[in-house]
Amino acid sequence: MLVAGFLLYSANAQTNFWEQTNGPSKGYVYSLATNASGHIFAQTYFGVFRTANIGDSWIQACSVGSWASTLAISTSGHIFAGSYGGSVFRSTDNGTNWTEVGTGFREWVSALAINTSGDIFAGAATQRGNECPGLMRSLDNGDSWTIISSDLTTTKDVTALTINASGHIFAGTYNGHVFRSIDNGDSWTRIGTVPNYYCIALAINSSEHIFAGTYASGNNEVSGVYRTTDDGNNWTLTGLSNHSINALVINASGHLFAGTDGEGVFRSTDNGDSWTDINSGLTDLEVFSLAINANGRFLAGTRYGGVFRSTQLPAGCCLNFRGDMNGDGKEANILDLNVMVNYIFRGSGDYGLCLEESNVNGDGAAKPNILDLNYLINYIFRQGPEPAVC
């Protein structure tokens, strides 16, 4: 009776994965970035907003022109913002003051990436082919820029940039082509074609697997998340298909998150083979941007709802001990049991921690099951054996 009653209670007491922050109130959050101090920056239609308390309050840091589009933060803490007006702005004081440091991008600075040496790469797009400079690079913190896209022969519209641990740069374009540079942008090689017209987002995990988020073009291609395990030479569609992808992000555990255009956020814990939606509490399903702060808190920028944050604070893989299902750093309790019950019996997207946390009985199972549930119930209510140690 105790277990049955708890299961009924738990199913009705599910904690939402997301909660809405208090801004930015003007919406259209196209880009999110976090710095080492825990500050979050949101780039919107009306400029850049900043919060120092995970979204409890926001201030407008600057207005960099309408349709501000992308953000990047260097290892020195300098913030760079690209705008729809074709300029790059820089702040060296955490967003208090901004200087226009890059012009000539024609219409839209669509992507920014910064390597560990502080070299800045900016992608531009106009959706009009060769009228666009494509890719530009700055070696002096944004003071001067050079066009480096002469090898991008199929299009000059660059919509996504990412850099791997070896310093190789990857550029995705509007026509689905992906280019790679192994010499800091001096030359580029086309390495493959993502089978869709718009390559909007790129992300790389610790195994150097590259993921590309594509957007439906209306040409009967299958949009979704594509993956390559051979440095971009061959691409395959992952388990997330027929979704238009706006954003990709990967957490410290290697879990992949995809923000979609109208269907919320999806998560994969198996390198993209399978996906689960995690939309509880997310009242705006048009997700333009995703980010993860230094404490592992997830952030989602939306079209009308501002920024949402995850209600759970995920631990690293068994950062504390098994049984800490909700990642709050506390000994296993009824809140952790609630997460496990919802995952096992309802397929809840709220489950998001690692094997070590869920494997309460220590048998090595890949996902929590009824045996782990029984073990946790005995521990919490009957003074049974403690969850297996990490």
Domain ranges in the chain with CATH number 1.10.1330: 2-14+316-382
Q: Report which of 283, 209, 192, 279 is spatially closest to residue 243, judged by C-alpha positions.
A: 279
Q: Round to the nearest angstrom and report the end-to-end CA distance of the chain.
A: 32
Report the C-alpha gap between 118 and 100 in whole angstroms. 18
Report the C-alpha gap between 373 and 334 in whole angstroms. 11
Q: Report which of 45, 60, 32 is spatially closest to residue 309, judged by C-alpha positions.
A: 32
- The CATH T-level fold of domain 18-310 is Methylamine Dehydrogenase; Chain H (2.130.10)
Domain 2-14+316-382 listed as CATH 1.20.1070: no
Report the C-alpha gap between 213 and 258 in whole angstroms. 8
Determine the 3-state secondary structure of 339 from DSSP: helix
pTM value is 0.78
Q: Is the pLDDT of residue 6 over 50?
A: no
Reading the block at residue 149, the tokens are: 């896209």
pLDDT, one tens digit per residue, over 126-184 is 755 446 678 999 999 999 999 998 777 666 788 999 999 999 999 998 888 889 999 99
Lowest mean pLDDT among 57-61, 166-170, 218-222, 239-243: 218-222
**Per-residue buried b or exposed e for 319-334, using 16+ beta carbons within 10 Å of the residue's own CB:** bbbbbbbbbeeeebbe
pLDDT at 7: 46
Residue 204 or residue 336, greater confidence: 204
Average pLDDT over every residue of 183-201? 85
* Burial class, 266, CB count within 10 angstroms (exposed 0-12 / middle 13-18 / buried 19+): buried
pLDDT at 36: 85
Domain ranges in the chain with CATH number 2.130.10.10: 18-310
Report the C-alpha gap between 154 and 190 in whole angstroms. 9
